């Protein structure tokens, strides 16, 4: 059963972005002080983009950050619809994170090759420090969609029939996403009202399958809260 630490409720999506940005920096400082580095998994989406834009102005030891992705669309490496392109434009091109610390998903190579390479990329990760995730109008998170069946022991899933285009993607598995010291769900907008209500009722949504031992924190704006 999913352990929810707290529903952090804010008035607007901008308020959510500011709060999450502050918490990310706090998590980074703690991780760097305790373990010498900060391993962060990025999400796609409009509110995460706002968060990354705010982070670009923050003061932190960027040389100790390591960046991973929760999912990616199978598109050309520089396609504007890729999560990696959004994150690069909003944050990564503006701060001094070493390029060797940024682990994009190589989905331009196709589903099978990209998934296999990313399995190797994360094979030696003992645990992420922080995973950021959003939620879709159908309750999906990363590229884990309702009704899909996956091998629960896999670390990276090959996605061939996404209900949202493009149909081919790769995604970290629920097991991999849960292997983190902290996990923040970032949820904004009235379109999320129904899945939030379903989530609270205990419906079997993909967001409810992410089960870190330390629990999850949900950052949500007023328009999305049920």
Question: Do the bridges between strand 128-133 and strand 38-42 make them parallel or antiparallel, or are there none, so unpaired?
Answer: parallel
Contact of 107 with 169, CB cutoff 8 Å? yes
Provide the token pair at 126: 């003992």
Residue-by-residue pLDDT tens, the chain, 226 positions? 889 989 999 999 999 999 999 999 999 999 999 999 999 999 999 999 999 999 999 999 999 999 999 999 999 999 999 999 999 999 999 999 999 999 999 999 999 999 999 999 999 999 999 999 999 999 999 999 999 989 989 999 999 999 999 999 999 999 999 999 999 999 999 999 999 999 999 999 999 999 999 999 999 999 999 6
**Distance from C-alpha of 45 to C-alpha of 189, rounded to nearest angstrom:** 12
pLDDT at 226: 64
Q: What is the residue extent of each domain of the chain?
A: 4-224
Selecting from 3.40.50.1360, 3.40.50.300, 3.40.50.2300, 3.30.300.10, what CATH number does the domain 4-224 have?
A: 3.40.50.1360
**165: which DSSP letter?**
S
Rounded to two decimals, what is the model's pTM? Answer: 0.97
Residue with tokens 């029939």: 161
Q: What is the pLDDT of residues 18-47, one digit of tens each?
A: 999 999 999 999 999 999 999 999 999 999
Of 47, 34, 58, the residue nearest 185 (C-alpha) = 47
Tokens 């129904």: give the residue: 194
Q: What percent of the chain has pLDDT over 70?
A: 100
Query: What's the pLDDT at 1?
Result: 85
Q: What is the three-class DSSP state of 155?
A: coil
For the stretch 111-116, contacts whose Cβ atoms lie closer than 8 Å and that sit 24 or more positions apart, written own/partner, are: 111/74, 111/158, 111/159, 111/160, 111/168, 111/169, 111/170, 112/158, 114/72, 114/74, 114/170, 115/156, 115/157, 115/158, 115/170
Q: Tens digits of per-residue pLDDT, 48-74?
A: 999 999 999 999 999 999 999 999 999
* DSSP per-residue letters across 109-131: G-HHHHHHHHHHHHTT---EEEE
Residue 36 gets which letter from DSSP? S
């Amino acid at each position: 059963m999913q352990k929810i630490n707290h529903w952090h409720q804010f008035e607007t999506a901008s308020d959510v972005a500011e709060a999450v940005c502050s918490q990310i920096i706090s998590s980074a400082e703690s991780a760097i002080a305790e373990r010498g580095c900060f391993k962060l998994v990025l999400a796609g989406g409009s509110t995460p983009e706002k968060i990354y834009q705010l982070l670009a102005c923050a003061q932190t030891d960027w040389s100790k950050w390591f960046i991973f992705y929760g999912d990616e669309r199978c598109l050309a490496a520089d396609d504007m619809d890729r999560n990696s392109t959004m994150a690069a434009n909003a944050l990564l091109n503006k701060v001094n994170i070493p390029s060797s610390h940024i682990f994009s998903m190589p989905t331009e190579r196709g589903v099978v090759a990209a998934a296999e390479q990313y399995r190797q990329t994360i094979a030696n990760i003992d645990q992420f420090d922080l995973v950021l995730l959003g939620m879709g109008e159908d309750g999906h998170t990363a590229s884990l969609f309702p009704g899909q069946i996956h091998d629960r022991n896999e670390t990276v899933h090959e996605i061939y029939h996404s209900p949202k285009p493009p149909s081919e993607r790769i995604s970290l598995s629920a097991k991999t996403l849960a292997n983190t010291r902290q996990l923040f769900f970032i949820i904004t907008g009235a379109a999320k009202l129904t899945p939030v209500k379903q989530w609270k009722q205990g419906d079997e949504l993909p967001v409810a399958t992410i089960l870190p031992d330390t629990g999850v924190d949900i950052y949500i704006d007023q328009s999305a809260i049920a």
